[in-house]
């Protein structure tokens, strides 16, 4: 059994890596709010997968450096947890510039976005998460800022109103969204690069798991890493969450080492099935089958019946169920696919035989 430990020196305190006990205590992981940062890849080599994106970016970054110009504005989209924030951080690190992170809901008032734009320095990156949620006013302030690096400010009222053009430093805007379709056309058109992040393969997620285990000093076999990867729904954030949970089980119930059996048994107890579906995902599929004959049924009805937020269903549950082919989106609502029925061990109405 190969025990992999691969500390890349990503901000983990030295002392904690050198302790005799190789397992980082769960309480330290759980309440350490620098956890996300400590395991976030900081360069292209440690950023696993998304090879097409990385290749394009490497060239774009090199060209910007040669031209001594700021990078084009970029938009990354895809389901949560696939690495949009992380790749933005990698870009900033590779360019040797600071990145300011904010999100659209934090830019409610004009002065929020004006304040942040005016505080930027030349070459810096402004990262706006959930950019599809920007309001119209903030968007309109952004247009000239993105295009001409200016702020158009109006002073005075009605007839005496004047527009002031305030120059801004040349910055790069990186937007991230789970819903590219909800971005207005004019905003989308102002991005020089638009890229969709893909779900990760099982091999890539196993690498993510092994890398995180190395950083956290968690002992895990390659088979154990694959067992976690298979149930991580193609998403590194989930892989990282599951490894923490499984490490807890390994510490308390086993000898501290995660192998395939420990991983599978722990994930079974956590009710994460072989497809990576959790209780909410299965409840969603069962609801459509049991109450709506497999669908189609509207998303609002599903959300209300599950007492979940529509946004959570749309952003968190659905993308993977659709990608895995368990759910289908039709103009009349969501439908469980034959594969979805099979996954729950149920028969489609057409297979159940009719009485008449
Ligand atoms: P998003 O912004 O798309 O919601 P994040 O960039 O916050 O996702 O990534 C979520 C977590 O997954 C981070 O903690 C990061 O460590 C990990 N992660 C994301 N992408 C990768 C990757 N390509 N390789 C390794 N780990 C990754």
For the chain, domain boundaries: 3-13+31-196, 202-269, 279-342
**CA-closest residue to ligand 1 atom 9:** 83
- Is it the case that residue 350 has pLDDT exceeding 80? no
Confidence of residue 333 (pLDDT cuts 50, 70, 90): very high
Ligand 1 centroid, distance to 1 Cα (angstroms): 28
Hey, which residues are catalytic here? Answer: 84-85, 129, 178, 237
188 lines ligand 1 (CB under 6 A): no
- Show the tokens assigned to 44: 């292209």
| Ligand 1 nearest-atom number relative to CA 39 | 16
Task: Please list the residues that pair with 102 across neighbouring strands.
Answer: 128
Pocket test for ligand 1, best of 78, 127, 237, 244 (most atoms within 8 A of CB): 237
Q: Judge if the beta carbon of residue 207 lies within 6 A of ligand 1.
A: no
Q: What is the mean pLDDT of residues 180-196?
A: 95
Torsion angle of C-alpha atoms 47, 53, 59, 64, degrees rounded to 10:
-90
Q: Which pLDDT band holds residue 38 (cuts at 50, 70, 90)?
A: confident
pLDDT at residue 5 tops 50: no
Residue 115 has pLDDT above 80, yes or no: yes
For residues 2-18, average pLDDT: 34
Separation of alpha carbons 32 and 355, rounded Å: 59
Give the pLDDT confidence of 244-299 residue by residue, as tens digits: 999 999 999 999 999 999 999 999 999 999 999 999 999 999 999 999 999 999 99
Distances (CA, A) of 176 to 33, 76, 78, 84, 96: 22, 5, 8, 6, 21
Sign of CA dihedral 274, 280, 281, 283: positive
202-269 to CATH, choices 3.60.21.10, 1.10.8.60, 1.10.260.40, 3.40.50.80: 1.10.8.60
Q: How confident is the model at residue 351 (pLDDT cuts 50, 70, 90)?
A: low
- The encoded tokens of residue 94 equal 């590779």
Which pLDDT score is estimated for 30?
A: 38
Lowest mean pLDDT among 121-125, 163-167, 227-231, 322-326: 163-167
Does ligand 1 have an atom closer than 6 angstroms to the CB of 90? no
Mean pLDDT in residue range 84-97: 95
- Determine which residue's CA is closest to atom 6 belonging to ligand 1: 83
Closest CA to ligand 1's atom 5:
83
Note whether 88 and 125 are within 8 A (CB): yes
**CA 150 / ligand 1 centre spacing (Å):** 33
List C-alpha distances in Å: 40 to 43, 90, 187, 304, 318. Answer: 9, 9, 29, 35, 25
Closest-CA residue to 253 (of 245, 37, 177):
245
Confidence of residue 189 (pLDDT cuts 50, 70, 90): very high
The mean per-residue pLDDT over the stretch 210-220 comes to 96
CA distance 275 to 339: 12
Distance 46 CA to ligand 1 centre (A): 11
Strand order in the sheet with 99-103: 99-103, 125-129, 172-177, 74-77, 193-196
309 CA → ligand 1 middle, Å: 24
- The DSSP-derived string for 227-276 is HHHHTSTT-HHHHHHHHHHHHHHHHHHSSS-B-HHHHHHHHHHTT--TT-
Mean pLDDT throughout 95-104? 94
Q: How confident is the model at residue 32 (pLDDT cuts 50, 70, 90)?
A: very low
Residue 316 CB less than 6 A away from ligand 1? no
89 lines ligand 1 (CB under 6 A): no
Q: What whole-number percentage of the chain has pLDDT above 70? A: 89
Average pLDDT score over residue span 120-142: 95
Q: Please give the class, per CATH, of domain 279-342.
A: mainly alpha
The predicted model gives 18-25 an average pLDDT of: 36
Task: Say whether pLDDT at 26 is over 70.
Answer: no
pLDDT (mean) for 101-119: 94
Cα of 195 to ligand 1 centre, how many Å?
16
Retrieve residue 329's tokens.
Answer: 């989106």
The response to whether residue 80 sits with its C-beta less than 6 Å from ligand 1 reads yes
- Ligand 1 neighbour 48 (Cβ under 6 A): yes
Evaluate whether the domain defined by 3-13+31-196 bears CATH number 3.20.20.370: no
Answer with the residue of higher pLDDT: 75 or 350: 75
Mean per-residue pLDDT, 132-145: 95
Three-state SS for 164? strand
Structure letter (DSSP) for residue 220: B
> What is the residue-averaged pLDDT of the chain?
88
Over its C-alpha atoms, the chain yields an Rg (Å, rounded) of 24
Residue 335, pLDDT above cutoff 80 = yes
pLDDT given for residue 349 in this prediction? 79
239 lines ligand 1 (CB under 6 A): no
């Amino acid at each position: 059994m190969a025990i992999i430990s691969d500390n890349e020196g990503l901000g983990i305190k030295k002392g904690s890596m050198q302790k005799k006990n190789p397992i980082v205590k769960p309480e330290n992981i759980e309440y350490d709010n620098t956890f996300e940062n400590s395991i976030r890849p900081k360069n292209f080599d440690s950023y696993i997968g998304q090879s097409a994106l990385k290749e394009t970016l490497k060239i774009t970054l090199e060209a910007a450096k040669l031209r001594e110009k700021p990078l084009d504005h970029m938009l990354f989209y895809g389901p949560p947890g696939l690495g949009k924030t992380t790749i933005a951080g990698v870009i900033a690190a590779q360019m040797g510039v600071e990145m300011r992170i904010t999100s659209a809901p934090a830019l409610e008032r004009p002065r929020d976005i004006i304040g942040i734009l005016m505080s930027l320095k030349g070459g810096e990156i402004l990262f706006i998460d959930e950019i599809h949620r920007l309001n119209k006013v903030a968007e309109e302030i952004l247009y000239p800022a993105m295009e001409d690096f200016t702020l158009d400010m109006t002073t005075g009222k009605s007839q005496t109103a004047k527009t002031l053009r305030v120059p801004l430093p040349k910055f790069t805007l990186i937007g991230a969204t789970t819903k590219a379709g909800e971005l207005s056309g004019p905003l989308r058109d102002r991005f020089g690069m638009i890229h969709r992040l893909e779900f990760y393969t099982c091999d890539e997620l196993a690498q993510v798991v092994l890398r995180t285990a190395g950083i956290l000093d968690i002992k895990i076999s390659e088979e154990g890493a694959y067992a976690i990867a298979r149930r991580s729904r193609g998403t590194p954030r989930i892989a990282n969450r599951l490894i923490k949970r499984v490490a807890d089980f390994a510490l308390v119930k086993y000898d501290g080492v995660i192998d395939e059996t420990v991983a599978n048994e722990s994930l079974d107890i956590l009710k994460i099935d072989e497809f990576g579906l959790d209780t909410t995902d299965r409840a969603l599929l069962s609801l459509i089958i049991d109450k709506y004959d497999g669908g189609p049924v509207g998303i609002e009805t599903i959300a209300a019946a599950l007492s979940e937020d529509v946004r959570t269903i749309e952003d968190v549950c659905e993308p993977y169920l659709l990608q895995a082919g368990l759910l289908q989106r039709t103009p009349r609502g969501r439908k469980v696919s034959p594969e979805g029925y099979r996954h729950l061990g149920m028969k489609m109405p057409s297979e159940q035989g009719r009485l008449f």
